[in-house]
Chain A
Amino acid sequence: MTNVALDTEDEDTEDRRRRPPRAVVGSSLDKEEEVFGKAYDPRIVRRIWAFVKPYQSRIYLSVAAVLVFTLTQLAIPLLVRYAIDHGMHTDGSGRTVLLTVMIGFFAVVIVNYGASWIQEVVVGKAAENVLFDMRRAMFANLQRVSLGWMDKTEVGRLMSRLMGDVNSMQEFLETSVLSVGDIILLFGIIGVLLWLDPMLGAITMATMPVLFIVRLFWLPPAKKSFMDAHHTNSSANGALAEGINGVRTVQSLDRQKVNFDLYEEKARANLRAHLRAAKFAQVMVPIVDTLTGISMATVIVLGGQMVLGRQLDVGVMVAFLFYIQRFFDPIRSLTMQYSVFQRAMSSGSRIIEVLDVPVDIKDKPDAVALTPDMDGSVEFKDVTFGYRKGQPVLRNVSFRVNPGETVALVGPTGSGKSSCMSLVHRFYDVWDGSVTVGGHDVRDLTQDSLGAEVAMVLQEPFLFTGTVLENIRYHKVNASREQVVDAAKAVGAHEFIMSLAEGYDTKIEQRGGNLSLGQRQLISFARALVADAKILVLDEATANIDSYTEMLIQRALKRLLEGRTGLVIAHRLATIRGADRIIVLQNGELLETGNHDQLMKLGGLYSKLYTMNYASFDDLPDDAIGVGASVGKAT
């Protein structure tokens, strides 16, 4: 084990260069989510409809507008036809007809304008509303779901549901109304052509099914090539982002050359995929143009001869030529919309997953509110609890924290300290036994009142974007500036806050990046002080903080615990010794309890740890406490 990796026996350079490097850039994980689902899934559509329903009158209005819009589109070549056949006789007899047709034409154009405006505005805005409503419903549900579920779920994953999947519904909502228009247009053109001349219409439209079949074969490989282009894009961009975020490590380990070559491979794969996708997209162009050409030629030869033989009006021939140019548009967009539908179904099912995460911890119907005049005691009675079935983290733990008392919870990693803390706040429900606060079982209390009367300071102080002031009064939004300043002074944070560029109004960068860990800790203390709860549950930070800040924190802690019931997960000797009572946990069981002197006299685990002279009781080597490795996480 003491054999250090300094050897040179395998440093045969010839051999080394022949091996490929153990290296990748960008994520090597391909946890890409399924992009396409079924084109239509009634369960999902029903759920989405629930969000659309509040806007249903607008949706009906816009469908009506689409209908009108499409009909006006169809009408225009017909009007042209009528004008040609009846309004342009060289003998001048058609003058009034032409005038009438023109009035009709302009009327249709105005209606077309209005309908297109209504259709797009109404559907566009309704779609935006639905998206925002959906996102809000998901977010609101996430505020209530159990922390057990949240622990298992990556934030990044949730964010891609909340932003990505929701956004992909937008396309769906907008196109579903548009596809109504496309279907009407398609059948409209078919109908009009057959009405104008059944035989010529049927022959001309013979190319239509051909395109349909071609599209059917073309779509799957084409879609795959588009997806590939998309994936290689995200893969190259991911590698770029990693290169930016890890640039300091890259430079210190001199990996630029290896990385550049690996990145070049990704960029090249991306280039290839895009060229392939472009081929697939463009190959449709000559196919459609050829079919259009065939239809046009048909109209010219057959229609032309019919006109010559006076079996067909020339205006009809012109109208045919006009319709043919628009012929394939609805088929093209309908087949594309098919993919949009598939995408929406798979996004939709993921959205529903988030909406349907069960909320395990709910207020009972007859839950009472914890009031500030409760006594401030905390009691664990025979508590057994765990995160996974059959693996209890706490076993039959019982203890009582009397009003005003400070109790330190001590024990190695995985002993169950953090779980105790979560249970006081009812982040989870116990398996067996009970946790009471102020004499009430936490399950009988409203969660809001529990949150208001029990203040909590977490190990990792979490700050939100906003000013220092807003962060300190996070819990009591209406706290006055004076209260905030007083709290900051009391915990010794005032001095450094005033040294910031804008004092209490200084904006905190993402997650408090512009403050040191110790400073963030002090702000979270001030936050708890402003909350002014009778009971304080605190998880001390384990990370090394410089000695001066450490001292500030110790004093702040004292001030914070004054006149309150305190349950402290303690890591530092100074904190532990300052407590009224110490509870030693090991492997989920209560091992020893008493004050410092009593425990030292007892000569158990505590005295052993203490005499070993570690600065912290956490992360102790396993052999020091004589237990097997505990890999479990309990934060």
Chain B
Amino acid sequence: MNDQSAPSAAAPGDARMHVRAIHQSKGHGILMRIMVLTMRHPWQVAITVVSTIIACGLQLWMPVLLGQAVDHAEGVINGGAGAADALWTTAMIMLVVSVGRGIFTMWQNYFGEAVGHFTAYELRLAVYEKIQRLSFSYHDKVHTGDLITVGMLDLEGVRMFFATGVLRVVLLGILIGVGAYMMLSTDLWLGVLALAFVPFVAWRSSVMHITLRLTWMKLQDLLQVVSRVMEENLGGIRVVRAFAAQDHELEKFDKASDAALELAHKRVDFRVVNTAVTNLSFFISMGLVLWVGGEKVASGVMSVGTLATFLTFMTILQMPVRQLGLLVNSFSRAATCGQRLFAFLDQEVEIADRPQAKPLNVTKGTLRFENVGFAYPSAPDRQVLQGVSFEARRGQTIGLVGAPGSGKSTIAHLIPRFYDVTAGAVTIDGQNVADVSLDSLRKHVAVVQQDSFLFTTNIENNIAYGDPWAKETRIARSAESAQLHNYIMGLPTGYQTVVGERGVSLSGGQRQRLNIARSLMLHPAVMVFDDSTAAVDAGTEQRIRSAMKRFSRDRVTMIISHRLSSLMHADQILFIENGQVIERGTHAELLELGGRYRELYDLQVRPSDDQMEAAQ
């Protein structure tokens, strides 16, 4: 038992091979598929099964040896002569059998568990890989909590299947089958009595384990409610205090808590009734064996040793029979967990490279929207964009304005192909974005989102997220341009300060600036700022803009904002309403036009009360 069984040194190629193998196992039934994946480790499986068989055999030998020993001691067999020698022999065999059973049980358990962990490792990789590959539209509709359940709990259910399910079938099959045969062939009626508890306990414990698992899940849901009540309360503690609502909050807590407690009590009742009753049935069986066996011993048709063998068989069988419930539960758990896990892994990736996809070749750096129409896959009847056309050349800035929900962000999401257009085309230098390879496209298109994710790591790693090999000097320069450098240097640990969920929390404006710094690390042909300065004050924004002048010379820049001052300088401004471009031109042209843009401008720059009324 050494580390040879663990996969050898870092070999990412192997890791990708595992992922492929898991995808190739598609097409089998759920449990069969788990077995196919398990059998990718044939040696470990073989060792496990062989060890199990040997361990069971040795275990079954023990009651026989005990019986023999008792009979030798009573002098039943050799009439006393040589009994001492016989005792010695039996004792030595017993010792060897016992040691052997220990060693083989160890191998059985270790390798059984190892096989599960290997499979879990491979499945983990496949889940992670899939999560990263599934397109936005999938992540839009699936709750993150559900994905976490798949990746953690469902994976566990599948992992346990070999050790607690399949292997137990072998184990119990041998123990109960051979044990029953040995007892029944020794004495039919006594054997029947000794086994009488088996079906009852098997049934009760199956029902119990399945029910306990189901109520456990229900209990987790109820506890989730309790935890949500508390989390909201603590997160919104100022509101609670402001409205002096502590009593109301405690009431809410009690309601949730009492519901969970009630179910917890029910579970205890259910569990205990079942374990107590299985104990009872076992002891009754044992009592009957003792009684009937005792009568037989008394009438001389059976030796005390044989009776001892029967009783020992029963104690040996007691544990595995109770575990029948675990076995049944393991199958049912693996079936439900496996179903969810494989359904997730087999999910079609909507946005993927087309078969003949070539890398994007940027020459002039021209972005074009040609009559683009779009509807989200979840609501195909609702047109989000209609007939959107424009062209932007390298060095140009294009501004998008419009009310929330008018479709501005959607335009931004179509360029890196987070979604596919439903009509028309988006092209870069004449190449349809849908025809080029995804990784090359996304290398050339950067979208700075309104609220993008901060990873729990230091600021340096966060800024270099898109270019992890960048030098420190470049990271610092990006932060400078994003007007974040001074703030970072003011922190005690500077660029090494950990931010994110478990680190220092940044304000909305600081997060957005970090985000901008992050995108300045890239060299995209198209750069989109999707309302990415909403929480940055106007003055700082002005300075970011001037710092970026040189940066924008070599690419198309698209700015989406509510704040007109952010995009007044653009070479072309598009006013979007209901998914259509209703006005376009430079700032001056649009003011001249006196349309919707003009209205918005008047409202924003110096709104007086009567103007607001008028605009209404």
Contact = CB atoms under 8 A, between A and B. Distances in A.
User: Is the interface on chain A under 10, 10 to 19, 20 to 34, or 35 or more residues?
Assistant: 35 or more
Contact of A125 (B105, B136, B265, B449): B265
A287 B105 CA distance: 11
A144 interface: yes
A246 B131 CA distance: 10
Contacts of B538: 614-616
Interface in A280-339: 281-283, 285-290, 292-294, 296-298, 300-301, 303-305, 307-308, 314-315, 317-318, 321-322, 325
Contact of A275 (B5, B73, B87, B298): B5
Contacts of B286: 76
A192 interface: no
A147 B94 contact: no
A422 B469 CA distance: 46
A27 B7 CA distance: 25
Interface stretch (A46-54, A128-136, A175-183, A401-409): A128-136
B279 A10 contact: no
Interface stretch (B167-175, B332-340, B369-377, B518-526): B518-526
B216 interface: no
B202 interface: no
A464 B236 contact: yes
Contacts of B83: 304, 308
A240 B416 CA distance: 24
Given A112-B283, A308-B75, A121 B268 contact: yes
B451 to A, nearest CB: 10
Contacts of A318: 70, 304, 308, 311
29 contacts: A80-B290, A84-B297, A90-B298, A92-B299, A105-B287, A128-B261, A135-B257, A136-B257, A143-B249, A144-B246, A147-B237, A155-B231, A240-B127, A247-B134, A249-B455, A253-B466, A261-B12, A264-B15, A272-B3, A289-B102, A300-B87, A304-B84, A304-B90, A318-B311, A321-B308, A322-B311, A475-B243, A547-B615, A621-B537
B72 interface: yes
Nearest to B98: A293
B275 interface: yes
B132 A543 contact: no
A58 to B, nearest CB: 13
Interface string B532-549: 001111111001001111
Nearest to A28: B457
A500 interface: no
B200 interface: no
B456 A242 contact: yes
A163 to B, nearest CB: 6
A596 interface: no
B192 interface: no
B250 A458 contact: no
Interface in B268-305: 268-269, 271-273, 275-277, 279-280, 283-284, 286-287, 290-291, 294-295, 297-300, 304
A92 B508 CA distance: 92
A568 B528 CA distance: 37
Given A242-B456, A551-B612, A275 B117 contact: yes
A250 B132 contact: yes
A620 interface: yes
A297 B101 CA distance: 15
Nearest to B114: A275
A139 B473 CA distance: 48
Contacts of A265: 10
Interface in B432-485: 439, 442-443, 446-447, 449, 452-453, 455-458, 460-461, 464-466, 468-471, 473-475, 477-478, 480-481
A294 B69 CA distance: 14
B268 A245 contact: no
A268 B7 contact: yes
B99 A458 contact: no
Nearest to A464: B232
A297 B65 CA distance: 10
A142 B480 CA distance: 42
Interface string B553-593: 01000000011000000000000000000000000000000
B480 A3 contact: yes
Contacts of A615: 538, 563, 604
A314 B70 contact: yes
A300 B96 CA distance: 14
A204 B446 CA distance: 76
A294 B294 contact: no
Given A5-B477, A253-B466, A282-B106, A76 B562 contact: no
A544 B603 CA distance: 14
Contacts of B102: 285-290, 293
Nearest to A104: B287
A286 to B, nearest CB: 3
Contacts of B534: 543-544
Interface stretch (B21-29, B147-155, B386-394): B147-155
Interface string A455-492: 11010001011000000001101000000000000000
Contacts of B254: 136
A6 B562 contact: no
B445 to A, nearest CB: 8
Contacts of A80: 290, 311
User: Is the interface on chain B under 10, 10 to 19, 20 to 34, or 35 or more residues?
Assistant: 35 or more
B98 A117 contact: no
Interface stretch (B118-126, B206-214, B357-365, B422-430): B118-126
Contacts of B151: 237, 240, 244
A307 B90 CA distance: 15
Interface string B1-22: 1010111001010010000000
Nearest to B59: A289
Contacts of A542: 535
Contacts of B458: 28
Given A28-B458, A474-B248, A629-B486, 15 more contacts: A76-B283, A98-B294, A251-B136, A253-B446, A255-B466, A261-B15, A271-B117, A271-B121, A293-B99, A300-B73, A301-B88, A464-B236, A543-B535, A546-B403, A619-B536
Contacts of B245: 451, 474-475
A27 B118 CA distance: 24
Contact of B478 (A5, A246, A255, A578): A5
Nearest to A466: B252
Interface string B223-248: 10011111111111111111111101
A252 B442 contact: yes
Contacts of A274: 113, 117
Given A29-B456, A282-B109, A456-B242, A544 B299 contact: no
Nearest to B517: A5
A129 B298 contact: no
Contacts of B226: 135
A17 interface: yes
A501 to B, nearest CB: 14
A435 B452 CA distance: 41
A254 B442 contact: yes
B103 interface: yes
B141 interface: no
Contacts of B442: 251-254
A152 interface: no
B315 A325 contact: yes
Contacts of A213: none
Contacts of B187: none
A355 B228 CA distance: 20
Interface in A45-92: 76, 80, 83-84, 87-90, 92
Given A10-B471, A116-B279, A252-B446, A150 B265 contact: no
Given A249-B453, A293-B97, A619-B540, A631 B84 contact: no
A279 B110 contact: yes
Given A260-B15, A474-B243, A465 B128 contact: no
Given A477-B248, A551-B612, A136 B253 contact: yes
B295 to A, nearest CB: 7
